[in-house]
Structure 1
Amino acid sequence: MVFWDHHPAQRSTANSILFSYSVLIVATRTIFFLAIDSYCSTTVVLKWGYAYPLGYLRF
């Protein structure tokens, strides 16, 4: 932590990089799970003719 106290520019750069990385990861996971969720709901509809309510029980 001493390094960051003497180098505020690097600290802000590292914080912005970490923030961008976390936002990217969250966005990627959201898109991935939405794609899987829509695929699985389509599969459920095709297999059994109905979808579980609100997506909580989709497989």
Structure 2
Amino acid sequence: MSTQPLPLDGITVVAVEQAVAAPFATRQLADLGARVIKVERPDGGDFARGYDTAARGL
């Protein structure tokens, strides 16, 4: 069984963002095959990680 590459295979995205909308968009790029490197603040990361306790910051 052969699998076709995803549309963004081979693309690297450097994400400098926080909150909700931008990380959601970056997630879509990752789902399409992009390699995502997320750059976060050194003093605690993305503040929005604590918004949803059900997801435990994932």
The two structures share one fold, judged by TM-score above 0.5 = no
> Which structure carries more strand by proportion?
2
Q: Give the TM-score of the pair, scaled to structure 1.
A: 0.27
The structure with more radius of gyration = 1
> Which structure carries more helix by proportion?
1
Higher relative contact order (CA 8 A, sep 6+): 2
